Amino acid sequence: MNPHQYGLILAGGRGTRFWPRSRKRSAKQVLDVAGERSLIQATVARLAPVIPPQRMWILTNEYLRRTIIRQLPEVPQNQVLAEPLQRNTAPAIGLAAHILRSLDPDAVMGVFPSDHVVGKPAAYRAVLKAALKAAAAGNLMVVGIQPRWPETGYGYIEFPRGTKPGAEALPVRRFHEKPELPNARRYLAAGNFYWNSGMFFWRADVLLDQLRRHLPKTASVLASLPRFGSRRFATALKQAFPLCENISIDYAVLEKAAHVSGVAARDFGWNDVGSWNAVYELLPRDACGNVTASSSICLDAHNNFVDARGKVVALLGVRDLIVVDTPDALLVAARDDAQRVGEVVKALEKLERHDLL
Amino acid sequence: MNPHQYGLILAGGRGTRFWPRSRKRSAKQVLDVAGERSLIQATVARLAPVIPPQRMWILTNEYLRRTIIRQLPEVPQNQVLAEPLQRNTAPAIGLAAHILRSLDPDAVMGVFPSDHVVGKPAAYRAVLKAALKAAAAGNLMVVGIQPRWPETGYGYIEFPRGTKPGAEALPVRRFHEKPELPNARRYLAAGNFYWNSGMFFWRADVLLDQLRRHLPKTASVLASLPRFGSRRFATALKQAFPLCENISIDYAVLEKAAHVSGVAARDFGWNDVGSWNAVYELLPRDACGNVTASSSICLDAHNNFVDARGKVVALLGVRDLIVVDTPDALLVAARDDAQRVGEVVKALEKLERHDLL
């Protein structure tokens, strides 16, 4: 293992589409929605053979920091940082790059979402290694995944025509946001459009150079911070962080940089677990297509998803439902509306039901 | 008020169609499914102006006796009896007639289900009085209710052709069990078929005469009991009751008696609250046709029924569902399948989930 390789896991999101299980203090990434471990635990475990937990850094918020420290005892506590307030990915990644470069001038960092699932971890790690290697050589690296269907919920990376899956450092022609279905179909047919996995790899100093060029205000705010680990760091961060631009690294850097490269990866069982319906698709189903605890009773019930802990659920004559029960809130939704669960959270915010957020 | 009038409320049923709220120890009749009071509390309150609680008798089982005593402090405790085991209505009514006749040779009794709802109590009480009066004169009385639709879930009472609603003591031509829809439509069109309300009125001695004639074994078992209130009564009942036939009063007496009379009543807002769907029909709905607690969130949700205490329920993109939540069990059913909820209870019995029965 290259001792200059570091991981940054972005774990500041809320995952409102996983309400009522996801709350401010128990966001999607710390939930065990798709297995026995939480999504962030699975993320760290999957990365560990390439980037050991001792070199893993996690950016989250004050609501989740303690839970994450508890779930990940193998990650040093002082590497689990809470952002003073929610900003988009550019300031968070910039902050981590700033710290890592100060600790190791040759730091190469991989940036990972905390809440995705990978079905083929060995294939995944091969991609990781390729991306880290290209990043160490000075490239801004992204990872595209060969699409399996015309998904409208993902962004796409356009590689040169004729790109074959498996290529390890191709120039990126363009980034495309989540497409409408006709475009998604076109991308799939074209063959050189890959799902954007949301992972980034680069040397910390290379990223800081890019920030200075494309996001100079944030870059100078970060440059003004005292040494990480010094007594003044936390207070200074609290004052400085709100001055950073609220912008994603995609908009701030990747779409503006002269050269971005990418791995055109064969699918490694990647799933961004975007909704309860994605969890339904991931988990094993019974003969009637239901995903439920074994103690459930299903009578003429088909293709339903149930998450209810410590409770028997009886489904009678219903199909294509999502049923998620918690001690203080219950969701019953059509599976087709899984993407809209965040609207429930918005309605609760309007009603000032902070107890349920 | 006639001091010889007594009420008998039959409260031994389980109401499995109201699972998961109904359990052995909290059957339908002691639940507040259709208002602030339990169904049996509403029953006693509705009867009180005609038959005071001091002359009300209740037959239930050991699971429910304490709850009923607690819910009905105005009914003397020793008049709330638990059947030693579940028998059908004939032994229960016979037992009550036996006790009442021993206490008051001129006793006239009205027999009432414990779990129905009456929307127009004043009209109801007028019917009661007419039925009790005819019963005091020696008749076996039933109460038919003018049907409002071709209901297939009720039995029907056939009166003479040309019967007009409001008639107070007509001969009953025949009893008809729950019909198929074509017959129900025929009954409705004919005009002389009335819904069987499940209420009966007769002198205690007249009923005992009928039992001796049509159900001699049960009659002699009951005749062998020691005096009610004596020390030996409870033990003797425990031994004798299982010897009684397991048969309804309808089969045992009403269909065999030479003369049965009935009130052909105008509808008094009667509802037998046969399922969660009946509760849905009874309660006020919001603009989208949902019956929910006010704290629920409904997004593109229509015509759903929700009963979840102390919990926010969010409905998203669903329609015509029944959602009933309790601390250890949750039901999600199609409203069209409300009559089949008992099948869930049967499935739980098979699984020996006694904790949920």
B276: closest CA among B20, B11, B8, B12? B20
Write out the DSSP string of A155-211. Answer: -EEE--TT--TT-SSEEP-EEEPSPPHHHHHHHHHHS-EEEEEEEEEEEHHHHHHHH
Residue B113 φ/ψ, nearest 5 degrees = -65, 155
Q: Which ipTM was obtained for this model?
A: 0.90
DSSP bridge pairs for A329: B312
Residue-level pLDDT at A86: 87
* CB contact residues (below 8 A), chain B span 273-312, against chain A: 297, 299-300, 308, 310-312
* CB contact residues (below 8 A), chain A span 317-336, against chain B: 317-318, 321, 323, 325, 327-334, 336
Length of chain B: 357
DSSP letter (8 states) at residue A38: -
Nearest residue of chain A to residue B312 (CA atoms): A329
pTM for this structure?
Answer: 0.90
Q: How far is CA A141 from CA A202, A218, A336, in A?
A: 6, 21, 35
Residue-level pLDDT at B343: 97
Q: Which residue's entry shows tokens 């004639």?
A: B213
Residue B34 · residue B117 · CB < 8 Å: yes
Enter the tokens of residue A284.
């094993």
Nearest residue of chain A to residue B347 (CA atoms): A297
Residue A258 has pLDDT above 80, yes or no: yes
Q: How far is CA A114 from CA A34, A45, A68, A224, B271, in A?
A: 13, 11, 11, 28, 55
Helices (H), chain B: 39-47, 65-71, 89-103, 121-136, 181-190, 204-214, 216-223, 233-240, 249, 276-282, 341-350
Per-residue pLDDT of A195-211, as tens digits, reads: 999 999 999 999 999 99
Enter the tokens of residue B242.
């299982």
B170: closest CA among B148, B141, B195, B193? B141
- Band of the pLDDT at A15, cuts 50, 70, 90? confident
Interface contact A325-B328, CB threshold 8 A: no
How far away is chain B from the Cα of A303, in angstroms, using its nearest Cα?
A: 14
Q: Which residue's entry shows tokens 């006796």?
A: B65
Cis peptide before A20 (omega within 30 of 0): yes
φ/ψ region of A138 (left if φ > 0, alpha if ψ in -120 to 50, else beta) reads: left
Residue-level pLDDT at A242: 94
The mean pLDDT of A230-244, rounded to a whole number, is 94
Interface contact A313-B299, CB threshold 8 A: no
Cβ burial, residue A129 (10 Å; 0-12/13-18/19+):
middle
All structural domains of chain B, each given as residue ranges with its CATH number in brackets, are: 5-271 (3.90.550.10), 276-356 (no CATH)
Enter the tokens of residue A341.
């669960």
A129: closest CA among A10, A265, A270? A265
Interface contact A297-B327, CB threshold 8 A: no
Q: Which residue's entry shows tokens 């009166």?
A: B159
Residues B261 and A62: their CA atoms lie apart, in Å, by: 76
Residue-level pLDDT at B293: 78
Measured N-to-C along each axis, helices A216-223 and A89-103 cross at an angle, to the nearest 10 degrees, of 40
Per-residue pLDDT of A126-183, as tens digits, reads: 999 999 999 999 999 999 999 999 999 899 999 999 999 988 889 999 999 999 999 9
Nearest residue of chain B to residue A332 (CA atoms): B315
Residue-level pLDDT at A293: 77
φ/ψ region of B303 (left if φ > 0, alpha if ψ in -120 to 50, else beta) reads: left
Q: What is the largest CA-CA distance in chain A?
A: 64
Query: H or E stretch including A43?
Result: helix A39-47
Residues A44 and A58: their CA atoms lie apart, in Å, by: 10
Cβ burial, residue A59 (10 Å; 0-12/13-18/19+):
buried
Residue A237 · residue A151 · CB < 8 Å: no
B296: closest CA among A22, A26, A344? A344
Residues B262 and B143: their CA atoms lie apart, in Å, by: 5
Task: Indicate the residue of B316, B325, B353 with minimum beta-carbon distance to A340.
Answer: B316
Q: Which amino acid type is present at position A133? A: K
The radius of gyration of chain B's CA atoms, rounded to the nearest angstrom, is 21
Interface contact A337-B343, CB threshold 8 A: no
Residue A243 has pLDDT above 80, yes or no: yes
Q: Which residue's entry shows tokens 């329920």?
A: B313
Task: Indicate the residue of B314, B316, B329 with minimum beta-carbon distance to A312.
Answer: B329
Per-residue pLDDT of B180-190, as tens digits, reads: 999 999 999 99
Residues B119 and B110: their CA atoms lie apart, in Å, by: 19
Which residues, at least 6 apart from B170, have a Cβ–Cβ distance to it below 8 Å?
B159, B160, B163, B261, B262, B263, B264
Task: Indicate the residue of A299, A327, A344 with minimum beta-carbon distance to B299.
Answer: A344
Residues A152 and A154: their CA atoms lie apart, in Å, by: 6
Residue-level pLDDT at A108: 98
Cis peptide before A49 (omega within 30 of 0): no
Query: H or E stretch including A9?
Result: strand A5-10
Q: Which amino acid type is present at position A312? A: V
Task: Indicate the residue of A300, A313, A337 with minimum beta-carbon distance to B330.
Answer: A313
- Band of the pLDDT at A34, cuts 50, 70, 90? confident
Q: What angle do CA B185, B187, B191 make, to 5 degrees?
A: 120
Residues of B in contact with A339 (CB under 8 A): none
Residues B57 and B81: their CA atoms lie apart, in Å, by: 8
A20 touches chain B (CB under 8 A): yes
- CA B113, B116, B122, B127 torsion-angle sign: negative
Nearest residue of chain A to residue B328 (CA atoms): A311
Per-residue pLDDT of B2-27, as tens digits, reads: 889 999 999 998 889 999 999 999 99
Residue-level pLDDT at B119: 93
Count CB atoms within 10 A of the CB of residue A99: 23
Q: Which parts of chain B register pLDDT below 50?
A: none
Residue-level pLDDT at B295: 81
Interface contact B317-A333, CB threshold 8 A: yes
Task: Indicate the residue of A316, A341, A344 with minimum beta-carbon distance to B333.
Answer: A316
The mean pLDDT of A251-260, rounded to a whole number, is 94
Residue-level pLDDT at A8: 98
